[in-house]
Amino acid sequence: MSAMTVMIDPEQAWAAVLARDRASDGRFVTGVLSTGIYCRPSCAARHPARGNVRFFANGAEARAAGLRPCRRCRPDDLARDEMAVVAALAAIREAEGPPVLADLAARAGYSPAHFQRLFTRHTGLSPAAYARALRAERAAAALSAEPSVADAIYAAGYSAPSRFYEGTRGRLGMAPSAWARGGEGVAIRWAVVPTSLGALLVAATDKGVCRVAFGESESELASRFPKAALTAGDEDFAALVAEVVAVVEEPGRGSALPLDVRGTLFQEKVWQALRAIPPGETCSYAELAAAAGHPGASRAAGSANGANPVAVLIPCHRVLRANGDIGGYAWGEAIKRELLRREKGSQ
């Protein structure tokens, strides 16, 4: 659906304006009929009277109605901002070394400080942190493909082995040599068990639970960990599985089970923020991004939410759209609704 056909809920839009919600920038513009200007929802100018406000899908619609862009928040610069971030992402991916903030900012025509804030607001990470996360992801892939650890380190873009070990310490979840063998030597126990919400896959390493998913099987687990040693769970493992099932059946009870999950720096911040949402409560993607320390990065927070590898234990089902709609869920809307219903009922 294009921006020209989006239906704007006036009350939700006005709430976003009062909150100066940066996550709403680009979704609509605020027309102030008394002054003849239009602004971003997050504009820092004094709020107009509600009766003087009309909402438009974009600047073109506002200009067609005879309004001009605000000189303070520059709503028409939003497209330019997004293009600048897209260009910077491409430059970082293509660069052989770490990005230089001043160079990225100069290409976009912004000051380094302004571009740093702009990039972080759109992606949830600073340019330097994004580059580090990108190298770490490349390292994980290269360690599975290259014939030696040293080859993988340089293929991922690290200038020296010391930089690799410094940058990935505690993040890959296993030794680099194990990654080079595609996870070979890492033991993962698993089981598929029935629950009232359908079949549930539970898998764990010796460090903690690494996968919880509705409707998945051993073959799908093997595709995630192609060379790990997968072993059907024994009686000892059954106790852990029973605890996971208990949380599914009563999601408001919480759990102290250890987790062994890895993601980018931003993803892990989002997952930590999710675990801080009390049972029976929900938040929006914008609120989740703010809780993770990156206000305005609601889209990136949504992606991190969707990448959650352990259903229920990291309660990604507690995030709704800003308008209160249920939103997406990796394991189906019906399961998400039922988990939320159970949590509400336990309060």
Residues belonging to the active site: 39, 316
Q: How far apart are the first and last CA of the chain?
A: 38
Query: Closest Cα partner for 308 from 330, 335, 293?
Result: 330
Helix (H) or strand (E) holding 211: strand 209-214
**CB-CB contact of 201 with 291 (8 Å):** no
Looking at beta carbons, which pairs linking 13-16 to residues 24 or more positions away fall under 8 Å?
A: 13/41, 13/55, 14/50, 14/53, 14/55, 16/41, 16/322
**CB-CB contact of 319 with 285 (8 Å):** yes
**CB-CB contact of 145 with 152 (8 Å):** yes
Residue 205 — left, alpha, or beta (φ > 0 → left; ψ -120 to 50 → alpha)? beta
